[in-house]
C-alpha cells in the first residue's frame, strides 16, 4: 500500500461546501432563464375530462403552457430492466407519459406545465389552470391490488401484475422440507414504503442553443450518461451527440436521483419550443409525491429448522408494489437485487422466493439505499431471531450454528448460493464475534435480567448481514434483464506538465470521490494528491459512465481508473526507457520515477509527461501523448458483510424506544479512507434506524398521501441517534484491483433488523414475537398490551 | 399599482426593504410575498443558504438574524427592515474559516453539503444561546438555569434536531459542535494522515 491509501485524508470538497460555495443545480441561473410550475393531480386515479388553460395563458409573465395534448406527451420515459413472468409471459410495461393526457394514475401526476418569467408568476398562473377530473376508485396496497375486483391501474391488462417471478429451489421440494422440519417459524408483515428525501430536491434547467442545435440539461442526477441515453434514444428521439448533461454538485441521492424522470425530458423538449432556458425545482411537497419511493413489500415467510437450530428450508411469498409506472430500475429491485440475497450468511440448503409485482395507484417505487437488499436482510435477520426466540435459543448461538464457514475466494472457492450468486469472500463469524465483544454480550444479558426485575425493558438485537454490491458484471445483468451494461469508464489524462486529470463515469453526491479517487491515483502514480483532479458529472467531459448506485463507485469506477493508470505506466516506461537509453525490462517505477534497476539513473513522471507531448527525442513508432481511457466490467459482484448490534430501552409506560447503543462491524474489503467509510456507515445506519423507528409513507384508501411533509413523515434527527460505534474486519475482494467491496449501503442494510430485534428482545418476556415497522410508541405500546 | 411598473418589473405588490446582510447594507425591491430565503437566493445571488423544504421543517435555510437562529423560508423579507442578517457566506473572514467551519472539516461533519450551511449557522448561533443560558426542551430545570451553559450531548442533539441531515452525519456534527463549544480537542475515531506522511508523499 502506498502513502495515501488507507489514510483518512481530509475531504477536498470541504472548502466549497462549508462556505456555501457549492454549485447545485438550483444555484445556477442562465441568462433569459424562465421558470416553471406544474399543475398536478389531486387524485390518485381519475379520468381527465378537460384541461382549460385559457385564463392561465392571460396571466402576467406567462411564456408558455403545455398539456398532455402537446407533442411532448406522445412518448414516455422507459424502464431499464425487464423481468418477465415465470411462465414466460413478457413483463407488462406501460407507457409513462411526460404529462398525463386522459388518465391519472397516481397522486401528483403532472397534467400541465406552466412556464413564466418568474417562479411566482408560474405558480400564480398554474392556479388558473382548470382541470376537470372524474375521480375513480384507487388501490394503493400491493396485496390488495391483486385481489379480485381491484381497480386496474392500466386497462391494457386484466390484472395489476407487472410480473410474477420466482427464484431458488423447486417450490414443492422446499414445501416438503418445511413439512418435515422440527420447527417452522412464520412471519407476515409489511416492509413499509419509504421516501428517500435527499435534502436537495430534484432540480433541472434545460437550455437549447439554436446555433449549434445543441441541448444542455443541468440536472441533479446520480447518473448523467444514462439519463442522456434514455432521453435521447427512447423519449425525445434526439441525437445523443447534440445533448449535454451536466450534474456537478448534487445534494444527496440515496437512489432517488438514479432514474430518468419525466420532468427532465419535458423541460429539455420545452426549452427548444420556447427558445429560452427553463428551470424547475421540486418543492418538498412535490418531492414526497413524485420522487421514486423505496421498499413497499408485503411479505409472508416460513423458515424451517432442525432440532439443533439449523435452517433446513425457507419459503417466502411477496407482493412488491411497483407504483403506477415502472421506474428505470424498479423491476430489478424486488427480484435480482433482493431474491439473490436470500441465502444470507447461512448454509440454508433449500430456498424459494416468489414475487408478484403489482401496479398500484401510487408514485413509482424504485431503488432506495440498499434496494432490495435491506428487505432481504430484514426478513432473514428477523425470522432467524424469531426462530431462536420460539425455540428458546440464543440469537447469537443460532447464527454461529448456521454461518457459512470463512472463505477467502483465492485459496478457497467462492460460495455458491441456492439463489444464483457466488459470494466472493467472507468471514461472517469474525464480524459477529467482534461485535459481541465490543458490546460485552454476556454482561449485557446479566444487566438486562437485573433491569427486568426493576421493570426496565432493555433489549439487544443482532443482525448479521450480507449484500451484493459493485454492480455489476454486464453479461450477468444482461441475462437477468438489464437493458444496460453496468461497467464503468475511467480516463486518466496526464497533462504536459505532469498534472493529472481523471474523468470518471461514477458520480459523487456526498461520497467524497474527489478525495478518495485522488488518493489512490496519487498513490499509484507516486505523485502529490494536489496534482490530481477528479472530474465527473458532465457528459461533454467524461467519455461515458453508468453513474453511482449499488455501492459501485470504487469497486467498478475505481477499477476502471486503475486500468488506465496501468496503461499510462506501460507507455510511460517506453518513453522513460528511450530517455534513459535502457531496456524497458531494466526499469522499475516507484515514487514517481522510472529508475534503471541497481543504478541511480532515473527519469521523473513529469519529465516523461512533457516528453510525451513534446516528442522531439522519442521512441520510434510510438504515438505522442499520455492519455488513456478504459472500460472496466467486473467479473462478479462484491459482497460486503458485517454484524450490527442495537441496544434499546423501551419505556414501559409509553412504548417509546430509546436507541442506547449502536455497534456496526462492517467488512467492506480494503479501506481507502477510513473517515469516509465511517461517514458512509453512519449515514446508512441513520437511514436504517429511520425505517425501524420513524419513517413511513402512508396512503389512505383513496390514494391520498397522509405523510406528505416533515411534520408527518418522521425523519431521523440528531436526537434520535446515539453515537454510532464503528468497527471493521477486512476481507479483501479477490476480483478487483483495489480489493474493495463498497460501503455506501451497508449501514442501511444491516441496521434495520438489529433495531427491531432489540425491541422484540426487550419485550420477549411479555410474549411479544414481532412488531410492525415503524416502531412508533403507540405500536410498541399496543404490542406490549397483547 | 402603476400599470407600467407592473409590466416592466413583473412585480405585483411591490415593497422596499433595507437590511444589513453580511455587514453590507442592502436595499431591495421585492414582491411582498418574498421570503427572506428567496430574497437571498434569487435577488442577492447569495446561494449558500439552501431550500430543503420551504416549510420550516428541515433547517437547511437557517441564517443568523440579529444574533439568533432564524428559518429564512418562514421569514417574510418584508419583516426584515433594519435587520442584521448573517449567512454562511459571511461567516469566514476571507480565507480564514469560522472555528465552526474548521471543526466541521476536522470531524467530517457533512457529506453532500446541502444541509451544511444551515447546520453551521444553527451551530454557531447555538454557541451564543448556551452563553446566554437559553433553555431547551430537555433542560432539566428551567427555573434554575445559569449563563455560560456547558451543554451535554443530549442537550446538543436536542438543540441541533431542527436541522435534518439525510446523509446522517449527526455523529460528526455533534463532535464538531462539542469541540468549539467546550474548546476541548475532541478526537475523531479515525486518525488523519500525518503531516509527515503527506509531506513524504509530496517529496516524491
DSSP A582-650: S-GGGEEEETTEEEETTSS-EEEHHHHHHHHHS-SS--TT--S--EEEEEE--SS-B--EEEEEEEEEE
d(CA A258, CA A357): 21
Residues B129 and B152 in one domain: yes
DSSP letter at B39 equals I
What the block records as the C-alpha cell of A367 is 431503488
Q: Within a 13 Å sphere around the CA of B4, how many CA atoms are in the beta-carbon half?
A: 0
Task: Indicate the residue among B72, B90, B108 that finishes a domain.
Answer: B90
Chain A (474-533) residues lying within 8 Å, Cβ to Cβ, of chain B: 509-512, 522, 526-530
Give pLDDT, residue B3.
43
d(CA A315, CA A166): 11
Task: For residue A354, tell me if it sits in a domain.
Answer: no
Query: DSSP 3-state assignment of B140?
Result: coil
What the block records as the C-alpha cell of A474 is 454486464
Please report which residue ranges of A155-294 form alpha helices under DSSP H. 171-180, 224-230, 262-274, 284-290
Judged against a pLDDT cut of 70, whether residue B8 lies above it is answered with no
What's the domain count of chain B? 2
Residue from the list A197, A251, A717 with its beta carbon closest to the beta carbon of B112: A251
Task: For residue B195, tell me if it sits in a domain.
Answer: no
Residue A388 sits in a domain of what CATH number? 3.30.365.10
Segment B168-180, tens digit of pLDDT = 999 999 999 999 9
Residues A668 and A625 in one domain: no
Judged against a pLDDT cut of 90, whether residue A3 lies above it is answered with no
Backbone angles phi, psi at A218, to 5 degrees: -85, 125
Task: For residue A415, tell me if it sits in a domain.
Answer: no
The mean pLDDT of A463-468, rounded to a whole number, is 96
Residues B31 and B86 in one domain: yes
Chain B residues whose beta carbon lies within 8 Å of the beta carbon of residue A530: 202
User: Looking at chain B, how many residues does it have?
Assistant: 204
Chain B residues whose beta carbon lies within 8 Å of the beta carbon of residue A118: 10
Residues A204 and A274 in one domain: yes
Residues B113 and B173 in one domain: yes
Residues B109 and B41 in one domain: no
Are A453 and A464 within 8 A, CB to CB? no
Residues B156 and B123 in one domain: yes
Residues B51 and B117 in one domain: no
Task: For residue B196, tell me if it sits in a domain.
Answer: no
Residues B51 and B122 in one domain: no
Are A678 and B165 within 8 A, CB to CB? no
Are A756 and A189 within 8 A, CB to CB? no
Task: For residue B189, tell me if it sits in a domain.
Answer: no
Are B97 and A683 within 8 A, CB to CB? no
Chain B residues whose beta carbon lies within 8 Å of the beta carbon of residue A26: 41, 47, 51
Q: Does B59 touch chain A (CB under 8 A)?
A: no
Give pLDDT, residue B5.
39
Are A339 and A419 within 8 A, CB to CB? yes
Residues A561 and A610 in one domain: yes
Are B192 and A17 within 8 A, CB to CB? no
What's the domain count of chain A? 3
Segment A683-702, tens digit of pLDDT = 999 999 999 999 999 999 99
Chain B residues whose beta carbon lies within 8 Å of the beta carbon of residue A201: 51-52
Residues A603 and A645 in one domain: no
Are A716 and B48 within 8 A, CB to CB? no
Are A675 and B192 within 8 A, CB to CB? yes
Chain A residues whose beta carbon lies within 8 Å of the beta carbon of residue B49: 20
Backbone angles phi, psi at A590, to 5 degrees: -155, 150
Task: Indicate the residue among A273, A290, A307 that finishes a domain.
Answer: A290
pTM of the model: 0.95
Are A682 and B172 within 8 A, CB to CB? yes
Residues spanned by the domain of B110: 99-181
Give pLDDT, residue A773.
98
The mean pLDDT of A283-302, rounded to a whole number, is 98
Q: Which residue has the cell 461533454?
A: A540
Task: For residue B193, tell me if it sits in a domain.
Answer: no
Chain A residues whose beta carbon lies within 8 Å of the beta carbon of residue B113: 13, 16-18, 22, 249, 251, 510
Nearest residue on chain B to A604, alpha-carbon basis: B204
Q: Please, which residues have CB within 8 angstroms of residue A353's CB and are 6 or more apart in sequence? A: A166, A167, A168, A315, A316, A317, A318, A338, A339, A342, A419
Q: Please, which residues have CB within 8 angstroms of residue A496's CB and are 6 or more apart in sequence? A: A609, A610, A612, A613, A614
- At B11, the pLDDT band (50, 70, 90 cuts) reads low
Cα B192 to the center of its chain, rounded Å: 27
Going from the C-alpha of A472 to that of each of A456, A480, A544, A552, A769, the distances in angstroms are 47, 11, 16, 8, 37
Task: Indicate the residue among A632, A653, A671 that finishes a domain.
Answer: A632
d(CA B58, CA B71): 9
Task: For residue B143, tell me if it sits in a domain.
Answer: yes
Residues B77 and B103 in one domain: no
Residues B139 and B172 in one domain: yes
Segment A360-400, tens digit of pLDDT = 999 999 999 999 999 999 999 999 999 999 999 999 999 99
Task: For residue A310, tell me if it sits in a domain.
Answer: no
> How many CB atoms neighbour CB B135 within 10 A?
14
Segment A38-68, tens digit of pLDDT = 999 999 999 999 999 999 999 999 999 999 9
- For residue B171, the distance in angstroms to the closest alpha carbon of chain A comes to 6
Query: DSSP 3-state assignment of A488?
Result: strand
For A359-494, strand residue ranges (E) read 415-416, 422-423, 457-466, 488-494
Going from the C-alpha of A37 to that of each of A16, A127, B42, the distances in angstroms are 30, 10, 16
Nearest CA among B170, B54, B49, B76 for reference residue A710:
B54
Are A191 and A295 within 8 A, CB to CB? yes
Judged against a pLDDT cut of 90, whether residue A726 lies above it is answered with yes
Residues A107 and A246 in one domain: yes
Nearest CA among B158, B190, B194, B192 for reference residue B174:
B158
Q: Does B180 touch chain A (CB under 8 A)?
A: no
- At B94, the pLDDT band (50, 70, 90 cuts) reads confident
Task: For residue A360, tell me if it sits in a domain.
Answer: no
Are A687 and B169 within 8 A, CB to CB? no
Task: For residue A573, tell me if it sits in a domain.
Answer: yes
- At B10, the pLDDT band (50, 70, 90 cuts) reads low
Are A293 and A211 within 8 A, CB to CB? no
Nearest residue on chain A to B120, alpha-carbon basis: A18
The mean pLDDT of A75-90, rounded to a whole number, is 94
Judged against a pLDDT cut of 50, whether residue B204 lies above it is answered with no
Residue B76 sits in a domain of what CATH number? 3.10.20.30
Judged against a pLDDT cut of 60, whether residue A666 lies above it is answered with yes
Residues spanned by the domain of A549: 487-632
Task: For residue A316, tell me if it sits in a domain.
Answer: no
Give pLDDT, residue B202.
45
Residues B103 and B176 in one domain: yes
Residues A509 and A571 in one domain: yes
Residues B115 and B77 in one domain: no
Residues B71 and B25 in one domain: yes
Residues A655 and A711 in one domain: yes
Q: Is the N-terminal amide bond of A774 cis, ω within 30° of 0?
A: yes
Nearest CA among B120, B110, B103, B112 for reference residue B62:
B120
Are A651 and A439 within 8 A, CB to CB? no
Average pLDDT, chain A: 96
Task: For residue B52, tell me if it sits in a domain.
Answer: yes
Give pLDDT, residue B184.
73
Residues A592 and A678 in one domain: no
Residue A129 sits in a domain of what CATH number? 3.90.1170.50
Task: For residue A379, tell me if it sits in a domain.
Answer: yes
Q: Does B43 touch chain A (CB under 8 A)?
A: no
- At B2, the pLDDT band (50, 70, 90 cuts) reads very low
Task: For residue A515, tell me if it sits in a domain.
Answer: yes
Residue from the list B49, B88, B168 with its beta carbon closest to the beta carbon of A685: B168
Task: For residue B148, tell me if it sits in a domain.
Answer: yes
Residues A685 and A730 in one domain: yes
Residue B123 sits in a domain of what CATH number? 1.10.150.120
What the block records as the C-alpha cell of A648 is 434499546
Are B190 and A8 within 8 A, CB to CB? yes
Helix (H) or strand (E) holding A76: none
Give pLDDT, residue A1.
46
d(CA A210, CA A232): 17
Give pLDDT, residue A638.
96
The dihedral through the CA atoms of B82, B88, B91, B95 has a sign that is negative
Give pLDDT, residue A13.
81
- At A517, the pLDDT band (50, 70, 90 cuts) reads very high
Are B58 and A721 within 8 A, CB to CB? no
Give pLDDT, residue A55.
98
- For residue A61, the distance in angstroms to the closest alpha carbon of chain B comes to 7
Give pLDDT, residue B6.
41
Task: Indicate the residue among B54, B73, B90 that finishes a domain.
Answer: B90
Whether ipTM tops 0.85, in short, is yes
Helix (H) or strand (E) holding B92: none
Judged against a pLDDT cut of 70, whether residue B195 lies above it is answered with no
Chain A residues whose beta carbon lies within 8 Å of the beta carbon of residue B157: 718-719, 721
Judged against a pLDDT cut of 50, whether residue A206 lies above it is answered with yes
Residues A453 and A517 in one domain: no
Q: Which residue has the cell 415593497?
A: B15
Judged against a pLDDT cut of 70, whether residue A169 lies above it is answered with yes
Task: For residue B190, tell me if it sits in a domain.
Answer: no
Give pLDDT, residue B138.
86
Give pLDDT, residue B1.
37
Q: Does B62 touch chain A (CB under 8 A)?
A: no
Helix (H) or strand (E) holding B95: none
> How many CB atoms neighbour CB A366 within 10 A?
27
Task: Indicate the residue among B35, B61, B90 that finishes a domain.
Answer: B90
Q: Which of A10, A15, A17, A594 has the most B C-beta neighbours within 10 Å, making it the best mutation to test the interface with B? A: A17
Segment A480-491, tens digit of pLDDT = 899 888 999 999
Chain A residues whose beta carbon lies within 8 Å of the beta carbon of residue B9: none
Side-by-side strand order, sheet with A351-358: A161-168, A351-358, A311-320, A297-305, A183-191
Give pLDDT, residue B187.
74
Residues A50 and A74 in one domain: yes
d(CA B176, CA B190): 14
Task: Indicate the residue among A583, A617, A632 that finishes a domain.
Answer: A632
Nearest CA among A331, A372, A334, A373 for reference residue A354:
A334
Side-by-side strand order, sheet with A110-116: A62-67, A110-116, A34-40, A278-281, A203-209, A214-219, A243-246
Give pLDDT, residue B197.
63
Are B201 and A528 within 8 A, CB to CB? yes
Orientation of helix A395-402 relative to helix A428-439, angle to 10°: 160
Chain B residues whose beta carbon lies within 8 Å of the beta carbon of residue A723: 153, 171, 174
What the block records as the C-alpha cell of A524 is 499509484
Residues A646 and A624 in one domain: no
Are B201 and A3 within 8 A, CB to CB? yes
Chain A residues whose beta carbon lies within 8 Å of the beta carbon of residue B189: 678, 726
Amino acid at each position: 500500500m502506498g502513502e495515501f491509501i488507507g489514510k483518512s485524508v481530509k475531504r477536498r470538497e470541504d472548502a466549497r461546501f462549508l462556505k456555501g460555495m457549492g454549485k447545485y443545480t438550483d444555484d445556477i441561473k442562465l441568462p433569459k432563464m424562465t421558470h416553471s410550475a406544474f399543475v398536478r393531480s389531486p387524485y390518485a386515479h381519475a379520468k381527465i375530462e378537460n384541461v382549460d388553460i385559457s385564463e392561465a395563458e392571460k396571466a402576467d409573465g406567462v411564456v408558455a403552457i403545455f398539456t398532455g395534448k402537446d407533442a411532448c406527451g406522445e412518448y414516455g420515459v422507459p424502464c431499464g430492466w425487464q423481468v418477465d413472468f415465470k411462465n414466460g409471459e413478457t413483463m407488462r410495461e406501460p407507457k409513462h407519459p411526460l404529462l398525463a393526457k386522459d388518465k391519472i394514475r397516481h397522486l401528483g401526476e403532472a397534467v400541465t406545465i406552466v412556464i413564466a418569467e418568474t417562479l411566482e408568476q408560474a405558480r400564480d398562473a398554474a392556479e388558473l389552470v382548470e382541470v376537470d377530473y372524474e375521480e375513480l376508485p384507487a388501490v394503493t396496497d400491493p396485496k390488495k391490488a391483486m385481489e379480485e375486483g381491484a381497480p386496474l391501474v392500466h386497462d391494457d391488462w386484466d390484472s395489476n401484475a407487472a410480473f410474477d417471478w420466482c427464484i431458488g429451489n423447486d417450490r414443492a421440494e422446499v414445501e416438503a422440507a418445511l413439512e418435515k422440519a422440527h420447527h417452522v417459524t412464520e412471519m407476515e408483515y409489511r416492509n413499509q414504503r419509504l421516501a428517500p428525501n435527499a435534502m436537495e430536491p430534484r432540480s433541472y434547467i434545460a437550455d437549447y442553443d439554436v446555433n449549434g442545435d445543441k441541448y444542455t440539461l443541468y440536472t441533479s442526477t446520480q447518473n448523467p450518461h444514462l439519463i442522456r441515453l434514455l432521453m435521447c434514444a427512447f423519449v425525445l428521439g434526439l441525437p445523443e451527440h447534440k445533448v449535454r448533461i451536466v450534474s456537478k454538485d448534487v445534494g444527496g441521492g440515496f437512489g432517488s436521483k438514479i432514474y430518468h424522470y419525466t420532468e427532465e425530458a419535458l423541460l429539455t423538449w420545452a426549452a427548444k419550443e420556447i427558445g429560452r432556458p427553463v428551470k424547475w425545482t421540486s418543492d418538498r411537497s412535490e418531492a414526497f409525491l413524485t420522487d421514486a419511493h423505496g421498499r413497499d413489500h408485503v411479505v409472508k415467510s416460513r423458515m424451517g429448522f432442525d432440532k439443533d437450530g439449523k435452517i433446513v428450508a425457507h419459503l417466502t411469498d411477496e407482493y412488491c408494489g411497483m407504483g403506477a409506472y415502472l421506474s428505470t430500475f424498479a423491476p430489478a429491485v424486488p427480484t435480482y437485487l433482493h431474491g439473490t440475497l436470500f441465502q444470507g450468511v447461512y448454509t440454508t440448503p433449500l430456498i424459494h422466493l416468489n414475487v408478484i409485482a403489482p401496479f398500484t395507484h401510487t408514485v413509482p417505487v424504485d431503488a432506495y439505499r440498499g434496494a432490495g437488499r435491506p428487505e432481504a436482510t430484514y426478513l432473514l435477520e428477523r425470522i432467524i431471531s424469531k426462530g431462536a426466540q420460539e425455540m428458546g435459543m440464543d440469537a447469537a448461538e443460532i447464527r454461529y450454528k448456521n454461518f457459512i464457514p470463512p472463505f477467502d475466494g483465492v485459496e478457497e472457492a467462492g460460495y455458491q448460493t441456492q439463489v444464483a450468486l457466488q459470494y466472493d469472500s467472507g468471514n461472517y463469524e469474525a464480524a459477529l464475534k467482534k461485535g459481541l465483544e465490543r458490546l460485552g454480550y454476556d454482561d449485557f444479558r446479566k444487566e438486562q435480567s437485573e433491569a427486568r426485575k426493576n421493570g426496565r425493558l432493555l433489549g439487544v438485537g443482532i443482525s448479521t448481514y450480507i449484500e451484493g454490491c459493485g454492480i455489476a458484471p454486464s453479461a450477468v445483468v444482461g441475462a437477468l434483464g438489464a437493458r444496460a451494461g453496468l461497467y464503468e469508464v475511467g480516463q486518466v489524462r496526464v497533462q504536459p506538465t505532469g498534472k493529472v486529470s481523471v474523468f470518471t463515469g461514477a458520480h459523487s453526491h456526498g461520497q467524497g470521490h474527489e478525495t478518495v479517487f485522488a488518493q489512490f491515483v496519487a498513490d499509484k502514480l507516486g505523485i502529490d494528491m494536489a496534482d490530481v483532479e477528479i472530474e465527473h458529472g458532465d457528459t461533454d467531459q467524461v467519455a461515458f459512465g453508468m453513474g453511482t448506485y449499488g455501492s459501485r463507485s470504487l469497486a467498478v469506477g475505481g477499477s476502471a481508473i486503475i486500468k488506465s493508470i496501468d496503461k499510462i505506466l506501460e507507455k510511460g516506461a517506453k518513453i522513460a526507457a528511450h530517455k534513459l537509453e535502457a531496456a524497458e525490462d531494466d526499469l522499475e517505477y516507484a515514487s514517481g520515477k522510472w529508475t534503471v534497476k541497481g543504478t541511480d539513473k532515473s527519469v521523473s513522471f513529469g519529465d516523461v509527461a512533457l516528453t510525451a507531448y513534446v516528442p522531439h527525442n522519442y521512441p520510434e513508432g510510438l504515438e505522442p501523448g499520455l492519455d488513456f481511457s478504459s472500460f472496466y466490467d467486473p467479473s462478479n459482484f462484491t459482497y460486503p458483510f458485517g454484524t450490527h448490534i442495537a441496544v434499546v430501552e423501551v419505556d414501559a409506560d409509553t412504548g417509546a424506544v430509546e436507541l442506547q447503543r449502536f455497534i456496526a462491524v462492517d467488512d467492506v474489503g480494503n479501506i481507502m479512507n477510513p473517515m469516509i467509510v465511517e461517514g458512509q456507515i453512519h449515514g446508512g445506519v441513520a437511514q436504517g434506524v429511520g425505517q425501524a423507528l420513524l419513517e413511513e409513507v402512508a396512503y389512505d384508501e383513496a390514494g391520498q398521501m397522509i405523510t406528505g411533509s416533515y411534520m408527518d413523515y418522521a425523519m431521523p434527527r440528531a436526537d434520535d441517534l446515539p453515537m454510532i460505534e464503528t468497527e471493521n474486519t477486512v476481507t479483501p475482494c479477490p476480483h478487483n484491483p483495489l480489493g474493495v467491496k463498497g460501503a455506501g449501503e451497508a449501514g442501511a442494510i444491516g441496521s434495520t433488523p438489529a433495531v427491531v430485534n432489540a425491541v422484540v428482545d426487550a419485550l420477549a418476556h411479555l410474549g411479544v414475537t414481532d412488531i410492525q415497522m415503524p416502531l412508533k410508541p403507540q405500536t410498541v405500546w399496543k404490542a406490549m398490551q397483547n | 399599482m402603476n400599470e407600467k411598473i407592473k409590466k416592466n418589473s413583473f412585480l405585483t405588490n411591490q415593497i422596499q426593504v433595507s437590511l444589513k446582510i453580511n455587514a453590507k447594507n442592502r436595499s431591495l425591491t421585492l414582491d411582498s410575498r418574498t421570503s427572506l430565503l428567496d430574497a437571498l437566493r434569487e435577488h442577492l445571488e447569495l446561494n449558500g443558504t439552501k431550500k430543503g423544504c420551504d416549510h420550516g421543517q428541515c433547517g437547511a435555510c437557517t441564517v443568523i438574524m440579529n444574533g439568533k437562529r432564524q428559518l429564512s423560508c418562514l421569514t417574510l423579507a418584508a419583516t426584515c427592515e433594519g435587520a442584521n442578517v448573517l449567512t454562511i457566506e459571511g461567516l469566514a473572514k476571507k480565507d480564514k474559516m469560522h472555528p465552526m467551519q474548521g471543526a466541521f472539516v476536522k470531524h467530517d461533519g457533512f457529506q453532500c453539503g446541502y444541509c451544511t450551511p444551515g447546520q453551521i449557522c444553527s451551530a454557531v448561533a447555538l454557541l451564543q444561546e448556551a452563553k446566554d443560558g437559553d433553555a431547551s426542551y430537555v433542560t432539566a430545570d428551567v427555573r434554575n438555569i445559569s449563563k455560560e451553559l456547558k451543554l451535554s450531548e443530549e442537550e446538543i442533539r436536542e438543540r441541533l434536531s431542527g436541522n435534518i441531515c439525510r446523509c446522517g452525519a449527526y455523529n460528526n456534527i455533534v463532535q464538531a459542535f462539542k469541540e468549539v463549544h467546550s474548546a476541548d480537542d475532541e478526537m475523531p475515531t479515525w486518525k488523519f494522515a500525518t503531516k509527515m506522511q503527506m509531506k513524504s508523499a509530496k517529496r516524491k
